[in-house]
Amino acid sequence: GNSVTQMEGPVTLSEEAFLTINCTYTATGYPSLFWYVQYPGEGLQLLLKATKADDKGSNKGFEATYRKETTSFHLEKGSVQVSDSAVYFCALRGAQKLVFGQGTRLTINP
Amino acid sequence: SQTIHQWPATLVQPVGSPLSLECTVEGTSNPNLYWYRQAAGRGLQLLFYSVGIGQISSEVPQNLSASRPQDRQFILSSKKLLLSDSGFYLCAWRPSGGASLYNEQFFGPGTRLTVL
C-alpha cells in the first residue's frame, strides 16, 4: 500500500541555516505529493505541492522536487527564519484520502 | 470562497462522558470529508472519511463514531470517552471527483480535547 516516511525529528537549527527535511514514499503509480505545515495550536496548511515527476513545488522560500527515480520529495529552504518553527508533514494522494508521514518538528533559534 | 469551521475550539471532558465535535464546510458541494486525530507530539491518524451523506468509512476501530447528516456537516461522536481519546482533532475537506486537479485537502482549525 501507499506510505510516506519522513525524517525523524525534532530538528533544531539556527536562523539563516539551510534546511532539508527528507521525505520518501511508496506508492503505485505517480501520485501527487504535498508538504503541509502546522504552526503551534493550529490546523494544517498546504505549503507546496507537485503532481508529476520532476515538478518543483515552491512557496515562502521552501522548495521540493518530485523525484521519481528516488521516490523522494525532500523539503528545502536556503535560509530559515524563527517564524518557520512548526511541524512539517509530507503526504501523497491516495484514492480517496491523503497518506501522511509522521511529521517533523522544526525549531529555529535566533 | 470555501471555509471550514470546527467547534468547539477546546473541550475538557471527564472519562466516561459523551462527545460531539462538529465540522462544517461552506462554499462547496459534495466535498469529501475527513476526521483526523493528533496525539501530543505525534503525527496524524485518519479516523474517518466520508464521500457523501450517510457514507462513512472507518480507518481505525475504536470507541469513536462519525456521521454525516448533511452534505457539508461532519460529526465525530463518542458515547463514553477514554483517557486515550485526548488529542487534537482535525477536520478536513477535499473537492470530490474532478473538481480539483491536485486533490489537496483543506484543514479546519482543530479542536483540542482533554479527557480527565
pLDDT band at A6 (very low <50, low <70, confident <90, very high): very high
* Residue B18 Cα, gap to closest chain A Cα (Å): 24
- List pLDDT tens digits, range B11-64: 999 999 999 999 999 999 999 999 999 887 678 889 999 999 999 999 886 889
Task: Mutate one of B102, B106, B111, B112 to test the A interface: name it (highest A CB count within 10 A).
Answer: B102
Name the average pLDDT for chain A: 93
Question: Are A5 and A23 a contacting pair, CB within 8 Å?
Answer: yes
- List pLDDT tens digits, range B62-97: 889 999 999 999 999 999 999 999 999 999 999 886
Task: Mutate one of A44, A51, A52 to test the B interface: name it (highest B CB count within 10 A).
Answer: A44
For residue B111, the SS3 value is strand
According to the model, what pLDDT value does residue A7 have?
85
Is the Cβ pair B109, A43 closer than 8 Å?
yes
Q: C-alpha angle with apex A80: A76 to A83, nearest 5 degrees?
A: 120
State how far the Cα of B69 lies from the Cα of A26, in Å rounded to an integer. Answer: 35
Burial A30-65 (b: 16+ CB within 10 A, else e): ebbbbbbbbeeeebbebbbbbbeeeeebeeeebbbb
Overall average pLDDT of the A84-109 stretch: 91
Q: Which of A108, A30, A18, A109 is nearest to A67 (CA)?
A: A30
Q: Would the pLDDT of A3 be above 80?
A: yes
Take residue A84 and report the three cell numbers written for it.
518557520
Question: Are B111 and B88 a contacting pair, CB within 8 Å?
Answer: yes
Q: Which of A63, A65, A36, A37 is nearest to B104 (CA)?
A: A36
Is the Cβ pair B104, A97 closer than 8 Å?
no
